[in-house]
Chains A and B, each alone.
Chain A
Amino acid sequence: MEYEIKPKEKLSLGLDELWQYRELFYFFTWRDIKVKYKQTVLGFAWAVLQPFLMMVIFSLFFGQALKVPSDNLPYPVFVFSGLLLWNIFSTGITSAGNSMVSNANIIKKIYFPRLIIPISSVLVSVFDFLMSIIIFAGMLLYYGIHIHPLKLLFYAPIGVLVTCIATFGMGTLLAALNIKYRDFRYIIPFLVQSLLFITPIIYPVSILSHDWLKYVVALNPMYAGVSLFRSGVIDVPLEPNLLLISLSSGVFFLVVGLYYFRKTEAYFADLA
């Protein structure tokens, strides 16, 4: 086995190398999951409790008080279906975005494909999602929602996949930017907060009065994830135009994120 170490010339995804180091995905994800709820009384229950409490608050304010419509679903089910995916995205891009900086001590001392770190961060938030899906199932039963199992099995995984792609794309981009420009430490929370408002989580797209507003919402890669996932439980038709825009936006961030990350990763150790 012979290989060369030299100044970086061409860009590639380095998939073969990622495969070689595949066990590290497991170890980093496992470490982050283990450490996340260490020294807490409630432990893993927090993974479930966080979205649940948010659902309760949103239901009280937006569902009860403001009477936001919810596409014929009970409002709590509606908002929880969105929050499930939103949590993958928000905790995913936050932890992925900070991951390179918080693991600086490792990347300065040892080599492995750097992409493993942000990917593992996203995997951690997927794990939280899997935990809280139990609550969602409970809610569907409690409210007696009539579902078509096949439809749910088709749309829900697609919605999760699209969400993961969006999260991963933005997460890697932010991770690479954050290591060079620490401004992003402050930009990320702000970004997450503002994106929450242009994602149809607490409201359905149908209440947007202007068409152009719908297109703005569709530019958000999370629109596609949330709408697809919800299609599993409700009978509101998908809007192909908006869906396509949102999917393209997700792919765009994925390509840009991967490209920028791979292009700059060689110098992470010098910048960290």
Chain B
Amino acid sequence: MKPILEIKNISKKFRIHHEKQAYLNMRDSISSIFKKDNSSEEMFYALHKISFDVYPGQSIGIIGKNGAGKSTLLKILSKITPPSSGKIISRGRIASLLEVGTGFHSELSGRENIFLNGSILGMKRAEIQKNFDEIVDFSGVEKFLDTPLKHYSSGMQLRLAFAVAAFLENEILIIDEVLAVGDSEFQKKCIGKMEDVSNSGRTVLFVSHDLNAVQKLCANSLILDHGVILKHGKTSDVISEYIHGNISTNYWERTTDSKSEIFFKNVRITLKGKQPDLVVEVSFKIKSNKNAPPVLVAFNVSNQMGQYLGQAMPSLTPNVFNSETEYKCEINLHNIVPDEYYLGAWIGPNLYSTFDWQKEIVSFKIIDSPQESRVQYSTAFGMLFLDSKIIDLKS
């Protein structure tokens, strides 16, 4: 079977103008013809070489933090903005719902807005006419059909908007966060409707921060982060990787040069294993500008309040030479109560002086509980779960 959507090497870059105001005026354009100086420009990749295939009937969830490139990807798929390079082959009509009620006009009545909005979304007049009663029924605003939209409550507007969109008959539906609004009852209704849609054999691309909704609607998902796909696979796997937090800020890189002779270039962490054998693997690069005697390295783990949980001081004492060297170290996280933690890195010649100290540069989230039988943990009683056992007095 051929994929209904082939996304091939899609990149989108933006020029960032420094020291310039965000939008252009004529004088700037004219004067920039005469100015050779382009040093204030920087390229920024909102998406970098994204590739994936979507097969007919598949529902794919797209998750990622704000600024990960999700909306840009959806905008390219819906032809609102072109990619800078790469291409997408589509074998079906795409309808995109990047917002509920696009084109709604507050002066027009509910009935008029159904037609206007439907037509902007790409429905034919006859299609809207055919589904009109169902749309009205689903939205539950039949009493106010001839009232101008400006007199509607925001909930009513939303219901009307979703109702129109729910009757789109395109083969591919692109949905962005539209369920993030409305009361829980209506959200349930929407999720139900969307389940029907994806069960009816249509292809759905669904972007949301609501992981429960993604889990419900999509068999497969992908994580976007800084414009690249971090993981693509079964939704349950993808979500568990996402909330394990080790992808949120698992990497730190020095952006400015240090005056110090020896300093960290970068630090990357990865969570490995399961409790009670959970470890965080720290890969780090040290840059040295001289040949030096052995140095000490330490990693501090702290919680969100800035309280230190503990320090790890791996016995890393080789000589450092005038070069960049990469190291890897494992820190045991056994017995730590589930929460979000930060890691900082320190390097110094001895315990009393410091070359470089980077505080709270990367973070990870522990989900597994230290004790298998127990689920609920609270950091109210400390960040460590102490090993203990009952001693049998009889023996």
Residue positions of A touching B, CB distance < 8 A? 1-8, 23-24, 27, 31, 34-35, 38-39, 105-112, 180-183, 266-267, 269-271
Contact = CB atoms under 8 A, between A and B. Distances in A.
B1 to A, nearest CB: 14
Nearest to A177: B26
23 contacts: A1-B92, A1-B93, A2-B89, A5-B87, A5-B90, A6-B83, A7-B82, A7-B85, A7-B87, A27-B119, A31-B108, A34-B107, A39-B107, A109-B80, A110-B96, A110-B98, A110-B103, A110-B120, A110-B121, A111-B78, A269-B80, A269-B81, A270-B81
Interface in B99-140: 99, 102-103, 105, 107-108, 112, 115-116, 119-122, 124-125
Contact of B25 (A34, A35, A183): A183
A34 B82 CA distance: 33
Contacts of A183: 25-26
Contacts of B108: 31, 34-35
Contacts of B79: 5, 111
Given A27-B119, A269-B75, A4 B105 contact: no
Contacts of B96: 109-111
B240 interface: no
A181 B91 CA distance: 37
B245 interface: no
Contacts of B83: 5-7
Given A1-B92, A31-B108, A6 B82 contact: yes
Contact of A181 (B24, B80, B86, B107): B24
A39 B121 CA distance: 27
Contacts of A8: 82
Contacts of A110: 78, 80, 96, 98, 102-103, 120-121
Interface in B60-76: 75-76
B173 to A, nearest CB: 13
B26 A181 contact: yes
Given A23-B125, A39-B107, A266-B81, A106 B76 contact: no
A100 to B, nearest CB: 14
Contacts of B81: 266-267, 269-270
Interface of B: 14, 23-26, 29, 75-93, 96, 98-99, 102-103, 105, 107-108, 112, 115-116, 119-122, 124-125
Contacts of B75: 269
Nearest to A270: B81
Task: Classify the secondary structure of B's interface with A.
Answer: loop
Nearest to A271: B23
B107 A1 contact: no
A106 B99 CA distance: 10
Given A3-B90, A5-B90, 20 more contacts: A4-B87, A5-B77, A5-B88, A6-B87, A7-B83, A7-B87, A27-B116, A31-B105, A31-B116, A34-B107, A38-B107, A105-B103, A108-B80, A109-B96, A110-B103, A111-B79, A112-B122, A180-B24, A181-B24, A182-B25
A109 B116 CA distance: 15
Contacts of A109: 80, 96, 98-99, 102
A180 B24 CA distance: 7
Contacts of B77: 5
Contacts of A38: 107
Nearest to A38: B107
A107 B79 CA distance: 10
A111 B78 CA distance: 6
Nearest to A106: B103
A1 B90 CA distance: 8
Most buried by B among A39, A111, A112, A269: A111
